[in-house]
Amino acid sequence: MRAKKIERELVQILGEENVSSDVGDLIPFERDDQFALVPPHRPDIVVMPSTREEVQEILKLANRHKVPVVPLASGINRKGLCIASKGGILLDLRRMNRILEINEEMMTATIEPGVSFGQLVKEARKKGFRVITPYAPSTASVLANYMLRGIYGTATRYGIDHLINIEVVLPDGAILQTGSAAFNQSLPYCNIVNGPDLCKLFQANPGTLGVVTKGVIRLYEMPEVIEPLIALYPDYASMVEPSIEMTRRNLVASCWPMMFTGAAMKILTDFMEEDIYMMWLYLEGDRGQVERDKEAVEKITERYNGFFLPEVPMLDRDTMIKDQIWERTSVKGWKGGNMYGCSFYGVMKSVTRYYEVTREISKRHGFDAFHYESVPVAPFHGQLTYNDPCIFWDASDTEQVKEIREIHEEIKRSLVDIGIYGWFRPFPSVVDTSKLGRYGEMWRKIKELIDPNAIMNPGKPPL
Amino acid sequence: MKEVKIMKNDEKKRVREMMLSDYLGEFYHCFHCHLCTVADWHSLDRWLPICPTFAYYGFESFSAAGKVEIARALVEREINDVTPRIAQIIFSCTGCGACFEQCRELTGFKANHTEIFEDLKENLVERGHALPKHIGFAKSIEENHNPYYEPHEARFEWLEEGLAKDEGVVYFAGCTSSYREQQIAKSTVRSLDAADIPFRVLEEDEWCCGSPLLRTGQREKAKETARHNVEAIKKTGAKTVITSCAGCYRVLKSDYPKLLGLRRLAFDVVHSSQFFTSLIDEGKVKFDDKIDMTATYHDPCHIGRHMGVYGEPVYEEPRKVLEEIGVDIVEMPRNRENAWCCGSGGGVKSAFPDFSLWTAGERVKEAESVGVDTIVTSCPFCVRNLTDAVEESGKPFKVYDLSEILSEALK
Are B33 and A336 within 8 A, CB to CB? no
Q: How many angstroms separate the CA atoms of B246 and B271, rounded?
A: 7
The four Cα atoms A383, A344, A419, A395 give a dihedral, to 10 degrees, of -150
Nearest of A79, A94, A243 to residue A150 by alpha carbon: A79
Q: Are strands B374-377 and B293-298 parallel, antiparallel or unpaired?
A: parallel
Does residue B1 carry a pLDDT above 70? no
Are B59 and A77 within 8 A, CB to CB? no
**DSSP class of A34:** T
- Say which of A30, A116, A336 has its CB closest to residue B108: A336
For A336, name the nearest residue in chain B, comparing CA atoms only: B108
pLDDT in tens, A273-301: 999 999 999 999 999 999 999 999 999 99
Lowest mean pLDDT among A378-392, B106-120, B178-192: B106-120
In a domain, B286, yes or no: no
Q: How many angstroms separate the CA atoms of A175 and A168, rounded?
A: 6
In a domain, B288, yes or no: no
Pick the last residue of a domain from B281, B310, B327: B281
- Say which of A28, A121, A322 has its CB closest to residue B65: A28
In a domain, B77, yes or no: yes
Pick the last residue of a domain from B260, B281, B302: B281
In this prediction, residue B89 has a pLDDT band, given cuts at 50, 70 and 90, of: very high
Does one domain contain both B76 and B146?
Answer: no
Does one domain contain both B272 and B354?
Answer: no
CA B113 vs. chain centroid, Å, equals 16
How many other C-beta atoms are found inside a 10 Å radius of the C-beta of residue B18? 10
In a domain, B253, yes or no: yes
Supply φ then ψ for residue A131, to 5 degrees: -105, 135
Find the mean pLDDT for residues B325-347.
Answer: 98
Counting as low any pLDDT under 50, the low residues of chain A are: none
Does residue B12 carry a pLDDT above 50? no
Q: How many angstroms separate the CA atoms of A229 and A231, rounded?
A: 7
The four Cα atoms A413, A417, A418, A421 give a dihedral, to 10 degrees, of 80
From chain B, the residues in CB contact with A24 under 8 A are: 61, 70, 79, 83, 85-86, 89
Q: How many angstroms separate the CA atoms of A421 and A380, rounded?
A: 13
Does residue B339 carry a pLDDT above 50? yes
CA distance, residue B61 to nearest chain A CA (Å): 5
Beta bridge mates, A259: A277, A372
Does one domain contain both B139 and B121?
Answer: no
Predicted local confidence at residue A313, as pLDDT:
65
Are B106 and A92 within 8 A, CB to CB? no
In a domain, B391, yes or no: yes
Give me the helix-helix angle, A237-248 and A351-364, nearest 10°: 140
Does one domain contain both B196 and B267?
Answer: yes
Does one domain contain both B206 and B309?
Answer: no
Q: How many angstroms separate the CA atoms of A125 and A325, rounded?
A: 10
For chain A, domains (ranges, CATH) are: 2-92 (3.30.43.10), 99-221 (3.30.465.10), 225-423 (3.40.462.10)
Does one domain contain both B277 and B324?
Answer: no
Q: Considering just the CA atoms, what is the radius of gyration of chain B in Å?
A: 21
Pick the last residue of a domain from B132, B156, B191: B132
Supply φ then ψ for residue A96, to 5 degrees: -90, 75
Question: Average pLDDT over chain B, rounded to whole?
Answer: 94
CA distance, residue A27 to nearest chain B CA (Å): 6
Q: With contact defined as beta carbons under 8 Å apart, do B246 and B303 qualify? A: yes
pLDDT in tens, B268-323: 999 999 999 999 999 999 998 899 999 999 999 999 999 988 889 999 999 999 99
Are B61 and A30 within 8 A, CB to CB? no
Q: What is the DSSP string of A285-327?
A: ESHHHHHHHHHHHHHHHHHTT-EE-S--TTS-HHHHHHHHHS-
Q: Where are the alpha helices (DSSP H) in B113-245?
A: 113-126, 132-144, 175, 182-194, 211-214, 219-236
Residue B28 sits in a domain whose CATH number is 1.10.1060
Does one domain contain both B260 and B382?
Answer: no
- Say which of A48, A122, A394 has its CB closest to residue B58: A48
From chain A, the residues in CB contact with B106 under 8 A are: 328-329, 331-332
pLDDT in tens, B145-177: 999 999 999 999 999 998 888 888 999 999 999
Lowest mean pLDDT among A66-80, A116-130, B2-16, B190-204: B2-16
How many other C-beta atoms are found inside a 10 Å radius of the C-beta of residue A48? 23
Instruction: Tell me how long chain B is.
Output: 411
Please name the helix (run of DSSP H) or strand (run of DSSP E) that holds residue A372, with its range, or none: strand A370-376
Does one domain contain both B368 and B321?
Answer: yes
Q: With contact defined as beta carbons under 8 Å apart, do B370 and B332 qualify? A: yes
Beta bridge mates, A215: A111, A166
pLDDT in tens, A119-168: 999 999 999 999 999 999 999 999 999 999 999 999 999 999 999 999 99
Q: Position A417: which residue type? A: D
Predicted local confidence at residue B16, as pLDDT:
45
Count of domains for chain B? 3
For A36, name the nearest residue in chain B, comparing CA atoms only: B28
For chain A, the first-to-last Cα distance in angstroms comes to: 29
Residue B345 sits in a domain whose CATH number is 3.40.50.1860
Does residue B371 carry a pLDDT above 70? yes
CA A141 vs. chain centroid, Å, equals 10
Q: What is the DSSP string of A74-85?
A: SS---TTTT--T
Does one domain contain both B52 and B168?
Answer: no
Mutating which of B40, B42, B104 best tests the A interface, going by the most A Cβ atoms within 10 A? B42
Asked, as a colleague might, if the bond just before A379 is cis with ω within 30 of 0, I would say: yes
CA distance, residue B296 to nearest chain A CA (Å): 24
Does one domain contain both B319 and B370?
Answer: yes
Are A25 and B59 within 8 A, CB to CB? yes
For A119, name the nearest residue in chain B, comparing CA atoms only: B47
In a domain, B287, yes or no: no
Residues within 8 A of B (CB atoms), A 385-444 only: 394-396
Q: How many angstroms separate the CA atoms of B328 and A97, rounded?
A: 37
Does residue B18 carry a pLDDT above 60? no
Does residue B187 carry a pLDDT above 50? yes
Mutating which of A328, A338, A339 best tests the B interface, going by the most B Cβ atoms within 10 A? A328
Q: How many angstroms separate the CA atoms of A362 and A275, rounded?
A: 15
Residues 6+ apart with CB under 8 A from B214: B118, B222, B251, B255, B259
In a domain, B72, yes or no: yes
Domain residues for the domain of B93 are 4-132
Supply φ then ψ for residue A130, to 5 degrees: -120, 145
Find the mean pLDDT for residues B226-234.
Answer: 97
In a domain, B162, yes or no: yes
Q: Considering just the CA atoms, what is the radius of gyration of chain A in Å?
A: 22
Predicted local confidence at residue B7, as pLDDT:
44
Q: How many angstroms separate the CA atoms of A67 and A43, rounded?
A: 11
Does one domain contain both B258 and B206?
Answer: yes
For chain B, the first-to-last Cα distance in angstroms comes to: 34
Does one domain contain both B261 and B297?
Answer: no
From chain A, the residues in CB contact with B61 under 8 A are: 24-25, 27-28
